[in-house]
Amino acid sequence: MKFKKFILCLMASIICLSILLPVSTFADGLNLDINASSAILIDSDTGKILYEKSAYEKREPASTTKIMTALLTLEHTKLDDIATVSSDAITSVPSGYSSDLLKMGEELTIEDLLYALLLPSSNEAANVLAMHVAGSVDSFASMMNTKAVELGCKNTHFTNPNGVHDEDHYTTAYDLAIIAREAMKNDTFKKIVSTASYTLPSTNKYSRIDRTLISTNDLIKKQSDNYYEYAIGIKTGFTTPAKNCLVSSAVKDGKTLIAVVLGASTDNNRYTDAKTLLNYGFDNFSKKDIVKAGSVVSTVEVKNATSATKELNLIAETTINTIVTNDKLNDVINPEITLNEGLQAPIKKDDIVGTAKYIVDNIQYTINLKAGSEVKKSYILYIVIIIAIIALILMLFEKPKKKRRKSSRRKKASVRSNGYYKAR
């Protein structure tokens, strides 16, 4: 009896412990030690979120604003276009913000101004570019807000091109990641933000070649204690209200990640946070090809097709790849296939015959399916139908003939019986 009570108590204890103790899940891996007020890590290729901390919280972006400024500039100008540094471009930079790099009346190419914007984070270069593109800072800010909406930003509003403090100038870690992802698709932008130093050429207002621009991003500077060997950019930011901000990107093992940290307490913390995020992404996620273009997704039997061509391979028109946690790398993902309504022969090779839908981590991917071969129409059924019709017609004609023959025989029999025929 005592033994039974002991067993019951032991079982009850185990059940209680199983309820009270935390269950180990994938979410446990997200408890990273991040100092910044908000942060996010995404896969650059797919935009998939790998980690987030208050990622939709409204924050001041400081000079990370200049990512959007550069993106719009690259979309609306040529690199060899010439822009002039106006008095207003310099004097409109508030006191306390650096604005001593460029000279009033100086003429520089858009490319040189972009290096000035993104490496030493020149505030006046941002104004020059804004005025060159839109005619005024206000008009350019309107363009920035329109672009943010187009990209799918959820809580962003810009009032200037450089990130100086303004109550109405804000964004989120999520939105900045979207903007950075779009900007990194531009090869010129990617080249500039991965450059540690750049020397401005002489100009009409500055004859010497001694203005070497040094990136404010320690992740890409080999001599820095914060150097990260996989880093390829992107942009730092700091104001007293915004604190220390950093949008970074890195490439390793075929994976390109973007990390955003906003509101870090110190300069060093923003780099530590960025490395923590990037290392987490590289160590715990892998690229996975869901389906490759040209591969056979499935095989179906087509109606009204010849026996030799009725088996049709459905071919993936495009490649789908994503990023998954390492434990899901070998998982088989079966698609939901939808064929075109009323699909039947004839079908030409490479015709679009349907779609395949894959769902990975609640994200839906849909591709077109092509015909892997020609499907010829079978005419056997038509031949059988024609033969049957002919047979039916023959049968219908045959019955009256038989009736006429029978009728003729009856008449002859009737004549004989009535004595109409006499022997000669």
Kind of pairing between the strands at 212-214 and 285-291: unpaired
Catalytic residue among 38, 54, 63, 194: 63
For the question of residue 103 being annotated catalytic, the response is no
Catalytic residue among 53, 54, 66, 249: 66
**DSSP character for 424?**
-
**DSSP character for 260?**
E
**Residues shown for the chain:** 424
Checking phi first, is residue 85 left (phi over 0); if not, alpha (psi -120 to 50) or beta?
A: beta
Using CA atoms in the order 201, 204, 210, 212, what is the torsion angle rounded to 10 degrees?
Answer: -50
Minimal CA–CA distance to 248: which of 226, 265, 223?
A: 226
Minimal CA–CA distance to 58: which of 137, 176, 140, 234?
A: 176
* Count of other CB atoms within 10 angstroms of residue 332: 4
CB-based burial label for 47 (10 Å; 0-12, 13-18, 19+): middle
For the question of residue 286 being annotated catalytic, the response is no
Catalytic residue among 121, 122, 248, 249: 121
Checking phi first, is residue 54 left (phi over 0); if not, alpha (psi -120 to 50) or beta?
A: left
For the question of residue 98 being annotated catalytic, the response is no
Token pair of 306 as six digits: 């010849």
Exposure of 274 in the CB half-sphere (CA atoms within 13 A): 38
- CA atoms of 183 and 174, how far apart (whole Å): 14
DSSP per position, 112-176 = HHHHHHHSS--HHHHHHHHHHHHSSHHHHHHHHHHHHHHHT-SS-B-S-SS----TT-BB-HHHH
Question: Which segments of 340-386 are extended strands (E)?
Answer: 352-360, 363-371
Token pair of 130 as six digits: 């804004």
CA torsion sign for 70, 74, 75, 76 is: positive
Q: Residues with catalytic annotation? A: 63, 66, 121
